[in-house]
Amino acid sequence: MMTDPIADMLTRIRNAQLSKRQTVDVPFSKLKHMIIEILLETGYILSCEKSEGMPSILTIHLKYIDKKPAITAINRESSPGHRSYRHAGKLPRVLNGYGMAIISTSQGLMTDAQARKKGIGGEVMCSVY
């Protein structure tokens, strides 16, 4: 039984990039899909497709720039055993603003910059740079 499916997804992405794979398959969930959509909007991955079969699978197409992964590091910040909540003023600045954190707020998932602009805090899901 898997206790942290988000950490599993991030590890699959990290391992696929280390082995220079073009795609990685991840079991589907709405939360994972929303995280992948944010990575897609911010340009860290190329595309994402959901399979129609049961169980549903997300196929993530990874992005490389000059044969180097677009994602240098992707880390889980909050875990099921140790949740990390922050106020809007205390949200992390990943790599002094060059990276991003994905925040789960009362208004849905968003980047740290979007949450800071709206003045809302939440659970820090992961950081990417």
| Domain termination site, one of 26, 42, 69 | 69
CATH of residue 59: 3.30.1370.30
User: Rounded mean pLDDT of 67-87?
Assistant: 93
Pair (14, 64) in one structural domain: yes
- Give the CB-side neighbour count of residue 27, counting CA atoms within 13 A: 8
pLDDT of residue 15: 96
Q: Do 94 and 129 contact (CB within 8 A), yes or no? A: yes
Segment 105-117, tens digit of pLDDT: 999 999 999 999 9
Segment 33-67, tens digit of pLDDT: 999 999 999 999 999 999 988 889 999 999 999 99
CATH of residue 89: 3.30.1490.10
* Beta bridge mates, 47: 61
Pair (61, 94) in one structural domain: no
Q: What is the pTM of this model?
A: 0.92
Pair (14, 39) in one structural domain: yes
Q: Which domain holds residue 85?
A: 74-128
Domain count, the chain: 2
